[in-house]
A and B are shown apart, each in its own frame.
Chain A
Amino acid sequence: MRKVRFLLVLMAVLMVGGPLAVEVSPAAADEAPATAAIDIDALRSMVDDLVAGSFGDKMTAVRDLADSGDDRAIPVLEAFLNGALYTRATDGRVVIGERRGRGLLLRDALTLEELEVVPTTAVNRVAINNRLRGMVRTALGSLTLMSPNTERRRQAAHAVFRARSADAEPLLQEALAIETEPSVRRRMERALAAIHLVHGTETEQRVAALEVLGRVSDREVRTLVASVLIQDSDGNPVEADDAVRAAAADALASIDGRLALWGFAVNVFQGVSLGSVLLLAAFGLAITFGVMGVINMAHGEMVMLGAYTTFLVQQAFRMWAPDAFDYSLAVALPAAFLVAGAFGIAIERGIIRFLYGRPLETLLATWGLSLILQQLVRTVFGSSNVEVGNPSWMSGAVEIAGGFALTYNRIWIIVFSLMVFAMLLVVMRHTGFGLRMRAVTQNRQMAASMGIRTGRIDALTFGLGSGVAGLAGVALSQIDNVSPNLGQGYIIDSFMVVVFGGVGNLWGTFVGAFTLGIVNKFIEPYAGAVLAKILVLVAIILFIQKRPRGLFALRGRAVEN
């Protein structure tokens, strides 16, 4: 019971941990209403200057557009910056072009109304140079820094940080003075500090800027601060000011320290994520191996069947209920459990029960079965990947500090694996089926003499193990490519989990999966993914020297043979 409580606490921590981080939704926040600060003809004349005027006119036009504060100026400037602003050859109308096959879809530059699709020869691109680019970036920054839309302001602050143009400073100060949203404020302060650092002339101001920057954990900021310490080819520092260099070194050390901490946290997260995937894939193996002493080499294919069931369920949703797509996984889970479970029972009744007492032969027969299932799926669905979508609540990521992001699908899979684990624990400990299953695991003959129908238990156990593998397939379809080889990629790793954790005890699988996952992810940065895997395999081979039957081994005479 203590273990169950620990699990609940763990889940609670995970649930609470989520909302603490800043949320970044992939769908941009709702469009802000256009602020019609200025009438459209005035804007048009500015745009005309931008297109046709002299270089000086263009600069003025950019500045005027920025000063207008009108939202409609944003797409024009963006298109100008990206080289998507054109004049139509026939009438000289200023348009924004968007690729459509070989041609361009033209939109009016200000109203954005769709005009026509023309070949690229029918328009002339409005030229831009680097100086103008800098100005446009700043102008865009000013148009967006004061936008009523929080998300746009945040992006704008980031854009200013990247451009670090001195022109943006007064604007940024102005924006900062009225900004109330803390997360946007932080970004603006960061941008301001960057400008001060790069363009400032007084030592004090630049040192203060470095102090601000030193409090941020972000890779881009780190690059900026590190650039202060660059040396030229003779080994002399490029930055002449000693005080600034010292402050930069301090800031860099503080950033690096925090980045390392975040990197550590992210490693743990990725390890836990890999562990949860291994856990889901290994549950079924551990159950069938523990109860029946049978190695099911077709286990990976049960996972694959679960993933393909998800695909079919999603296809059905796409066809008949595209609006309810977000609920497709709720249907896919029981469906995958039933499909894989039914296959499992069929395999047990059709093949495995004839091979009891011959574990090595069972291994070969189930391997043959896995070849057949793979080829069957390949014949029916083709050998390329099928498309399984993420529901909206599983896409996107939570950004934590330092530019690290945790994707929602990974977080959900961790939660899901813990739920499956808890469910299995309940089934094993608190149901009659679980009781009989454990009895058969510990002593088959004795259980049989007590009136347990061991054959039936075997079939149901196999069904349960396979069904859980099907659930794993649903989870894996959300983070991996769904192809006929899906199961093969996980089978050896799940074997290692079972060998490491020991059989007949779900806690062994639990500890084994998370240990292997975390160890793998911690070796990876130093040794690379492949070498990490090799090292883990070697470590397991050495580990079983000490514990030949895994971490949580069953004991007793019944185990020996």
Chain B
Amino acid sequence: MTVGGPLTRLLLGSPGGLVLVVVTLAAAVLVPVLHLTQPPGSPFFVPTWLVSLLGKYLCYALLALAVDLIWGFCGILSLGHGAFFALGGYAMGMHLMRQVGDRGVYGHPVLPDFMVFLNWNELPWYWLGFDSFPFAMLMVLLVPGALAFVFGFLAFRSRVSGVYFSIISQAMTFALMLAFFRSDMGFGGNNGLTDFKELLGFDLQAVETRLGLFSASCVALALGYLVSRFIVTSRLGKVLVAVRDAESRTRFIGYRVEYYKLFVFVVSAMMAGVAGALYVPQVGIINPSEFAPAFSIEVVVWVAVGGRGTLYGAALGAGLVNYGKTYLTAAMPEVWLFALGALFILVTLFLPKGIVGTLGGMGDRFRRPAAERRAIALRAAEGQRAAE
């Protein structure tokens, strides 16, 4: 690998990542162009349902990327990342609710329908400001970021790590789910936020808006990848990997491990928040089930399938697993959970590096000189013995 300028290192260091960036940016341009220029019968025509579906996958991919950033590079397995995704989604949903204005079923100029239904007279204080788009976008970043900061600060400071952290993060998203199910929380309870009308003046049902959101998701994924790649290739990234591999040793060397962890955890939560914010206008609803612990664990398996610690592999895994889900839940609904369960087991048992890691490993075997291969095998055997 040639070490050039920062941009070269960012892009060329990981060929798969380069492909990801190129493909998403190309899709951001090509898909809308093809949709608008090709006639519906043409093989190059991209139907609207496919645009929406792909847009959803892109949001999932960004979420998977966020999980890979902390799990793959810092060893933090969060089983509550769906919470940050959902919080970003709710921030966006609140903005969209305010945009509905007096076009709701009850026609109230300010209050969303569900508040009128609950006989509320004025907006709760935490809804103020969400009529402004920039403020809402700020909240998309800040709310998940703040929660991650508080939660991460408490957890990392007291050195909660490993499975303990996983379980506590799962409890966090579970608690949030219970909270958001309550109607008097002011977030629509069970039904969540839905019946959106428009975003920035564009009708959400219009094809052009959907194409715009699709392109935005593509760009967000590419940017998310570049940010993550920037972090993991920086000096800070090296510390993160050190924390992942030997936390105590890193601490003894003198690094304040908890601050590194906290930084990357907050960045990851913000990325998840952005993914949620892009997801909500495309699917048209946000409700508390996004907080369900099961969803967060599913995200982890996307990353595991694609390849932990590869970034672009996580995005690939999200796409593949969700394609499988879309296909199976339509074709054989009762098989889906068997398939997902089997995927969890098989990937952890037989593909610990995921698809990308395994394929990459095969490629390496041909390139590496024999001596180096022997050294690796030796080290692996040692590690095995140590683990036993």
Contact = CB atoms under 8 A, between A and B. Distances in A.
A375 B341 contact: yes
A364 B304 contact: yes
Best-buried of B151, B163, B340, B343 by chain A (most CB within 10 Å): B163
A355 B348 contact: yes
Contact of B154 (A363, A375, A545): A545
Contact of A374 (B171, B248, B300, B337): B337
B154 A365 contact: no
Interface in A324-357: 351, 354-357
Contacts of B345: 351, 365, 368-369, 372
Interface string A376-389: 10110000000000
Nearest to A498: B167
- Interface size bracket, A side: 35 or more
Contacts of A379: 334
Given A364-B300, A492-B293, A544 B160 contact: yes
Interface string B163-176: 11011101110110
A541 B349 contact: no
Most buried by B among A357, A372, A379: A372
B77 interface: yes
A495 B167 CA distance: 7
Contacts of A542: 154
11 contacts: A295-B163, A364-B347, A368-B301, A368-B344, A369-B341, A371-B340, A375-B341, A530-B182, A541-B171, A544-B155, A561-B248
Contacts of B154: 541-542, 545
A119 interface: no
A365 B160 contact: no
A354 B158 CA distance: 31
A560 B248 contact: yes
A365 B341 CA distance: 8
A361 interface: yes
Contacts of B348: 355, 358, 361-362, 364-365, 368
Contacts of A362: 348
B342 A364 contact: no
Given A355-B348, A367-B297, A495 B387 contact: no
A370 B178 contact: no
A374 B294 CA distance: 13
A548 interface: yes
A375 B338 contact: yes
Contacts of B181: 530
Contacts of A12: none
Contacts of B338: 371-372, 375-376
B337 A371 contact: yes
Contacts of A537: 171-172, 174-175
Interface of B: 77, 151, 154-155, 157-160, 162-164, 166-168, 170-172, 174-175, 178-179, 181-182, 248, 293, 297, 300-301, 304, 334, 337-338, 340-345, 347-349, 352, 387-388
A356 B349 CA distance: 11
Given A372-B337, A545-B157, A548-B158, A492 B171 contact: yes
A533 B167 CA distance: 16
Given A368-B342, A368-B343, A540 B166 contact: no
Contacts of B166: 295, 360, 363
By secondary structure, the A interface counts as helix
Nearest to B154: A545
A548 B340 contact: no
Main SS at interface, chain B: helix
A359 interface: yes
Contact of A548 (B77, B159, B170, B349): B159
A368 B160 contact: no
A499 B168 CA distance: 8
Contacts of A265: none
Contact of A499 (B159, B167, B300, B334): B167
Given A368-B341, A368-B344, A496-B171, A533 B178 contact: yes
Nearest to A538: B175
Contacts of A560: 248
B344 A533 contact: no
Interface in A530-551: 530-531, 533-534, 537-538, 540-542, 544-546, 548-549
Contacts of B158: 544-546, 548
Interface centre among A358, A375, A379 (most CB of B within 10 A): A375
B167 to A, nearest CB: 5
A534 B181 CA distance: 12
Contacts of B151: 541
A548 B160 contact: yes
Contacts of B164: 499, 544, 548-549
A290 B103 CA distance: 57
Contact of A354 (B175, B293, B341, B349): B349
Contact of B388 (A355, A356, A544): A356
A560 B251 CA distance: 14
Interface string A414-452: 000000000000000000000000000000000000000
A359 B163 contact: yes
B62 to A, nearest CB: 21
A561 B347 CA distance: 24
Contacts of B341: 368-372, 375
A547 B154 CA distance: 12
A363 B170 CA distance: 12
A542 B171 CA distance: 13
Given A369-B345, A379-B334, A542-B154, A530 B178 contact: yes
A544 B334 contact: no
Contacts of A545: 154, 157-158
A288 to B, nearest CB: 12
A372 B342 contact: yes
Contacts of A375: 334, 337-338, 341
Contacts of B337: 371-372, 374-375
Contacts of A351: 345, 349
Contacts of B155: 541, 544
B248 to A, nearest CB: 7
Contacts of A378: 334
Give 8 nearest A-B pairs by CB, closest first.
Answer: A368-B344, A357-B387, A371-B341, A372-B341, A375-B337, A537-B175, A368-B341, A365-B348
A296 B99 CA distance: 46
A494 to B, nearest CB: 10
B386 to A, nearest CB: 8
Contacts of A561: 248
A367 B167 contact: no
Contacts of A360: 77, 162-163, 166
Contacts of A365: 344-345, 348-349
Question: Of residues A289, A368, A379, A538, which shows the largest number of chain B Cβ atoms within 10 Å of its Cβ?
Answer: A368
Contacts of A499: 164, 167-168
A358 B163 CA distance: 10
Contacts of B179: 530-531, 534
B171 A495 contact: yes
Give the residue among B171, B174, B248 with the most A Cβ atoms within 10 A.
B171
A534 B166 CA distance: 18
Contact of B167 (A295, A357, A376, A546): A295
Nearest to A560: B248
A541 B172 contact: yes
A427 to B, nearest CB: 25
B166, B181, B334, B344 interface centre (most CB from chain A within 10 Å): B344
User: Most chain-A Cβ atoms within 10 A of its Cβ — which of B158, B163, B179, B348?
Assistant: B348
A374 B168 CA distance: 23
B178 A364 contact: no
Contacts of B304: 364
A550 B120 CA distance: 43
Contacts of B387: 356-357
Contacts of B160: 544, 548
B130 to A, nearest CB: 24
Given A361-B352, A363-B163, A541-B154, 17 more contacts: A351-B345, A355-B348, A359-B163, A364-B301, A364-B347, A367-B344, A368-B340, A368-B348, A372-B341, A372-B342, A375-B337, A376-B338, A495-B170, A530-B179, A537-B171, A538-B175, A544-B164
